[in-house]
Every structure is written in structure tokens, then in C-alpha cells.
Amino acid sequence: MEKVREGAFLRQSETADKDLCERFEFRDIRPEEAEQTAEIERICFPPNEACSRKMMLERVAKAPEMFLVAVDRANGRIAGFLNGLATGETVFRDEFFTDADLYEPDGPNIMLLGLDVLPEYRGQGLARELMNRYLRREQEKGRCEVTLTCLDGKIKMYEKMGFTNRGVSASVWGGEQWYDMTCRLDKEIYFSP
């Protein structure tokens, strides 16, 4: 995979929230944490949108390096996580939610499948920090673009994280109307306050 052009970087990569860094350990998922992520997904998403337990376990088994978890140092539990699949594809399709075999380890793009933060940890900047670290990590691996789908009410949040709204998605996951959001990793990415 071709590396990102020299000089590309995430704008606020050096300005991570010190309190979050002290409170949470940010790292790849461990196999024994798969059940925990399945339970967090169940809490964070309604049944029609949530990844099934079986599918979450399969994703962790096939692509653990595509997860980033935030572990609360005080209790050792996962407070939030991001997960996706690398691929050569450029258009998000619902099959990414249900088929971990679509994972291409050297794929230049990421289809982001979930950003989960437990309710008691929300409003503290954890989702933003997870996204910042995930984008930076994938940029350093030479990835080109991250794509996700979101509901209308989350568009502004993702725009503040450097994503561009590409309009209504072809995705009909959970019977909802989704919007495609993309973030190019081969350019500077600005997180806005």
C-alpha cells in the first residue's frame, strides 16, 4: 500500500486532552474483550441498528487491529471504542455490517462501522479523542479515506471531526435514512471546536 504523501497530518494530533490521556488507555482490542464490545454496542444502539453479538465477535476475531478501545484506568473496563474494516472499495454498503470477510488488511480505505461510548462517559470528549486517534493511526498506516454512515442528527458532530457530508447514503441499515460521511487522510484534517 502506498504511503500517505509526506507532510499530511491530523491538525490536533499533538493536542490530545491530557485528562483523557490520564484517565483512559487507548489501544487495540484484545480477543477477550469481544464480549464487552458486543454488550457496549447493545447499550449504545437501538436493536434495529446494533451489530449482533455474533457479528461483533467475528469482527474482533478477523480484524482486531481495526478496533481502537478506550479503557477506563480506574476500573479496567472499556468506556468506548471505534471499529471498521479496511477495503479497496470506496462506497459504503450494508454488507460491511454483516460480513467480516469483506476485510482486506491492505485496503486503502476504511469503512467505519461504529463509534460507541457508554452513556456515563459521554459529553467528556471521549468520542472525539477516539476518532482523532483512529484517523491518525490509519493515516500513519497509509490509508486514503475513511467512510461512515450516520443519521441526520449526527452530521454536524462528524463534520467537526473532519468529515464531509456526501449526502443521502444508499445504506438502508435498520430501516433508517443514512448520510455518507468521508474523511480524506491524504490531506490536513482539521477538528473544529
Q: What tens digit of pLDDT does each residue of 15-69 get?
A: 467 889 899 999 999 999 999 999 999 999 999 999 999 999 999 999 999 999 9
Q: Give residue-wise pLDDT tens across range 102-122.
A: 999 999 999 999 999 999 999
Q: Which three cell numbers stand for residue 181?
A: 460521511
Q: What is the three-class DSSP state of 130?
A: helix
Looking at domain 18-184, its CATH superfamily turns out to be Gcn5-related N-acetyltransferase (GNAT) (3.40.630.30)
Place of cell 499530511: 8
Reply yes or no on whether the pLDDT at 85 is more than 90.
Answer: yes
Spell out the alpha helix ranges (H) of the chain: 18-23, 34-44, 53-62, 95-98, 126-140, 155-160
**Interior angle at CA 62, CA 61 and CA 65, nearest 5:** 90
Q: What is the three-class DSSP state of 39?
A: helix
- Buried (b) or exposed (e) across 67-82, using 16+ Cβ within 10 A? bbbbbbeeeeebbbbb
Cα 68 from Cα 60, distance rounded (Å): 11
C-beta separation of 109 from 183 below 8 A: no
Segment 113-138 mean pLDDT: 96
Record the pTM. 0.88
